[in-house]
Structure 1
Amino acid sequence: MASENVKLEPLGPNKTGPNRIQDDGIDDYDPHLHREVESPTTNAETLIHLLKGCLGTGILALPEAFKYSGMANGIVSTFLIGLLCTYCLHVLVRAQYVICKKLKVALLTYPESMKIACEIGPTCLRRFAPYAPAITNFFLIFYQLGICCVYIVFVGKNIKAVADEYTTNDISLTLYILMFFVPFVAIICIKNLKLLAPFSILANLITLVTFGVVGYYVCQNLPPFSSLPSFGTLFNYPLYFGTTLFSLQAVGVVIALENNMATPKQFRGAFGVLNIGMTLVTIIYVGMAMMGYWKYGDKIESSITLNFPPGDVLAKVIRIMYSIAIYISYGLQGYVPVQIIWSNYMAKSLDNSSRKSLYEYMLRIGCVVLTFLLAITVPLLGLFISLVGAFCLSALGIAFPAIIELCAYWPDRLGPGRWILWKDIGLIIVGIVGLCAGSYSCIYEIVRSLASGQT
């Protein structure tokens, strides 16, 4: 994500604000030409980063999502959701460009884009402008902390699956999770991300090997394809939707990557980085989910690595290695909420404090404590993934981009018949329905599972 301290002062004589923005649509100012990026990435580098940002724990959880949707419905729906996610990312990037052009600024963060969009959009939205950054930051922080919780549960469950083979004692998942508290604190306290770069390379290599091993296991002794149901129940579909959205949507990654490209105009083209990357990601996800569900059926676990034969040495090694990769990724994912909270809500008030560094470390440790408490309270990996996807990404990945686009083109650039207005209202409705229905289904299943003692 770009810096939260972008200066909202236009280069020309106009000032920012809803009544002081040049909106003739033919301005020569090009935000792309005014970006100052220290180390811009090439198209190939951006594509690699996009693939890495999308291919995480979600790909190992998506086979379970097919249990909720059914095989045929899951295949078709995953392609459709992948198309929806890609389109909404296009909408967001394009709308941010339009707003930057109006303001004559090179970059805007997501929260800033929401604030300015509400200021220049329909009158009914302008009252929400002062609160828009905080609302957007809330969803961003919740999303990133949710990912961290998923990572903690993933590591705990996979290490428990290995350790249970060597002990006769039934050690609870909570104890396995707590064993890793100090290492997780240590990695989130690393302020300089360059120190994590070599470990991130290792994590990428482990991820590639893991996918190969998953392919090895799921392609053996497949049952009859016709034995799998084509459709699941309507009530369970929101659980599928949340998990798939969590897996495919990468709104924070996309904004950061586009902002740091050497050739940002090639990000959104028909054969641009975004379309190529999301097409590859969607195909990989569909293939992995289809083969995983085909292999294990209704016995599929919340992470497909938990389905591997417990006595196989290869299965044990891959569980440990991928747990290490996810542990490394925790440091990167945890960095984002810490930076948002610290930069926007704490740093300025502590400028003159001699204990500024101490407070920052306390914030980092506090984030770890919070994620561990949530992980211990709700150690249901699949349902937690679905909840984070439905609650956060329905807003961040679908509804908010539509709101920003609607406002960016308001009032006289909405196309013939004001089709952009009606299309964006449709996307907002989809986002709200996905958030409400997905969150309700997930919370209902979480409560039911916890009440019955399932973990």
Structure 2
Amino acid sequence: MEAIKQEEHSVTIPLLFGNGDMEKNAKDEQCISIGNASFISTCFNGLNALSGIGILSVPYALASGGWLSLILLIVIASSTFYTGLLIKRCMDADETIKSYPDIGDRAFGKTGRMLVSISMNVELYLVATGFIILEGDNLSNLFADIDFNIYGTRIGAKSGFMVLVAIVILPTIWSDNMSILSYVSATGVLASVIIVGSILWAGAFDGIGFHEKGKVVNWSGVPSAISLYAFCYCAHPVFPTLYTSMRNRRQFSKVLFVCFTICTITYSLMAVIGYLMFGSNLESQITLNLPTNNISSRIAIWTTLITPIAKYALMLTPIVNAIEAQFQSSHNIKMNRFLIRTILMISTVVVALSIPSFGYLMSLVGALLSSTASITIPCLCYLKISGIYRKIGIELVFIGLVVLIGLIVTVVGTYVSLVDIISHL
């Protein structure tokens, strides 16, 4: 769910191709006109939405669950593809629906809108926190000999780099002009290709090789694996914007099929390559396993480092807008904005410093929030809006199975993730 932007009750993303002026306030315009984005343009936007930092942790997910856990990746991909189609059906049922919270509102009223908005904003907050951890991990891996000393207090490399990166990012939080960062953040597809290519090159030509056999299955790691797989497919809040941006909305199902197919192949390829290269020794981010003296490794690591810096402010924008909306009547609006954004930034750094591992945090996000927003909520909203829950049929049974998958991932994955985090604090 890269680069989501929420203003009042609307949710939009920067569309790099096609209809570039989609980001408008719902109060100023009651109905967004049909966009002019082509099929190819929407495919690129969809791939950008689905291509995120999950690609770094998917090898660790495979190492946690074993080779057979790849089946779970396919199950999660299929389930989330189907729930993406359900979102389309919900929007077809009511032309006034323009955003993901609108779907929750149409199905369950203000309570539905509130639950959808909360799940989205909490997920964005934790993903932004994950960016800070990712930066600290990789920079400390590149510059392992550096320590920070502040007024006689020695700070470890990882913690020091987290604070340093936060200082670098902070000015982007203060700015209200997000258009430039929107375009920079839309390089997710290219970044994913570069990372996969660099790691494949490192394994094939830089002496690492593909010699690890791995395990067929590791039952104790399956919950973590499926949670991380769920995190890879958490772009559903973006789909309503993609849908409304299209010139020919009837092609949206094909767009979803293309995007999910390409991303699943990419995630699977990265998982298999990483597991064959490093086996059970995989870190929560595969870049942490790469030898830093190789050019291919450095390309992968620096690509990993640059993208989150540009995306951080965009991830927090919906949360910032929601909080600032509560202080619109204040006389000193500029000061309130400064304080809100600074405090929000500091809070993510504090949380990042307290979380022991990037993998544990992403596993928690995937289990608790991604599975809820991308699997359970679309099913429940569709059942309510369509009314098919009133009669038993094949579709109702199938949706019930998908909901069951979402609930199992949420309950089991969240429990295991919290236990892992608490035990390593």
Into which bin does the TM-score normalised by the smaller protein fall? Answer: 0.7 to 0.9
8 Å CA contact 2:34–2:247 kept in 1: the answer is no
1:162-181 aligned within 5 A? 162-164=142-144, 171-181=156-166
Q: 1:164–1:38: structure 2 CA closer, same or farther, 3 Å change rule? A: farther
Superposed CA RMSD: 2.6
1:65 Cα shift? 0.4
Alpha-carbon distance in structure 2 between the residues aligned to 1:384 and 1:295: 24
Q: Deviations over 1:333-353 (max 9, x none)?
A: 2223223x24xxx52x54443
Q: Per the alignment, do residues 135 and 201 of structure 1 end up closer, same or farther by CA in structure 2, a change over 3 Å counting? A: closer
Q: Aligned partners of 1:279 and 1:37: how far apart in 2?
A: 29
Following the alignment from structure 2 to structure 1, what is the Cα–Cα distance between the partners of residues 396 and 183?
46
Q: Are residues 214 and 89 of structure 1, via their aligned partners in 2, closer, same or farther at CA, if it must alter by over 3 Å?
A: same
- In 2, the alpha carbon distance for the partners of 1:5 and 1:78 equals 33
Alpha-carbon shift at residue 207 of structure 1 (Å): 4.3
Give the TM-score, by structure 2 length: 0.85
Q: TM-score, length-normalised on structure 1?
A: 0.80
Deviations for 1:390-444, whole angstroms, at most 9, x for unmatched residues? 0001211111111111111216875xx4333333333322222211100000111
**Deviation (angstroms), 1:144:** 0.5
2:51 counterpart of 1:51: no
Residue 391 of structure 2 is aligned to residue 406 of structure 1: no
Change (3 A) 1:381 1:97: same
Classify 1:5/1:223 alpha carbon distance in 2 versus 1 (closer, same or farther; 3 Å): closer
Aligned to 2:292: 310
> After TM superposition, what 4+ stretches of structure 1 lie above 6 angstroms from structure 2?
166-170
Which moves more between the two structures, 279-288 or 178-187? 178-187
1:291 aligns with 2:273: yes
* Aligned position for 1:329: 311
Residues 176, 391 of structure 1: alpha-carbon distance in 2 compared, 3 angstrom cutoff: same
Partner residue of 2:126 out of 146, 152, 157: 146
- Aligned residue in 2 for 1:254: 239
Matched letter for residue 325 of structure 1: T
The CA deviation string for residues 192-225 of structure 1, in whole angstroms up to 9 with x for no partner, is 2212245336666444322221121233554456
Q: 1:366 aligns with which of 312, 337, 343?
A: 343
Q: Which residue of 2 aligns with 1:211?
A: 196
Paired letter, 2:121: I
Provide the residue aligned with 1:12 in structure 2.
none
**Paired position in structure 2 for 1:110:** 100
Q: State yes or no: 1:88 paired with 2:83.
A: yes
Match of 1:193 among 178, 181, 201: 178
1:428 alignment partner in structure 2? 403
Q: Which runs of 5+ in 1 are unaligned?
A: 7-33, 119-128, 451-455
For the pair 1:278 / 2:255, whether they are aligned, the reply is no
2:176 partner amino acid = K
Deviation at 1:283, TM superposition (A): 0.7
Q: Residue in 2 aligned with 1:391? A: 368
Q: Distance in 2 between matches of 1:196 and 1:172?
A: 28
Could you tell me how far apart the structure 2 residues matched to 1:202 and 1:286 are? 21
Contact 1:406 1:420 in 2 (8 A): no
Match of 1:438 among 404, 413, 424: 413
Report % sequence identity. 20
Of 255-264 and 37-46, deviating more is 37-46
What is the rounded CA distance, in whole Å, between the counterparts of 2:299 and 2:147 in structure 1?
17
Q: Which amino acid aligns with 1:232?
A: N
Largest Rg, 1 or 2 = 1
Mapped partners of 1:413, 1:265: distance in 2: 27
Q: Distance in 2 between matches of 1:203 and 1:408?
A: 33
* C-alpha separation in 2, matches of 1:411 and 1:323: 46
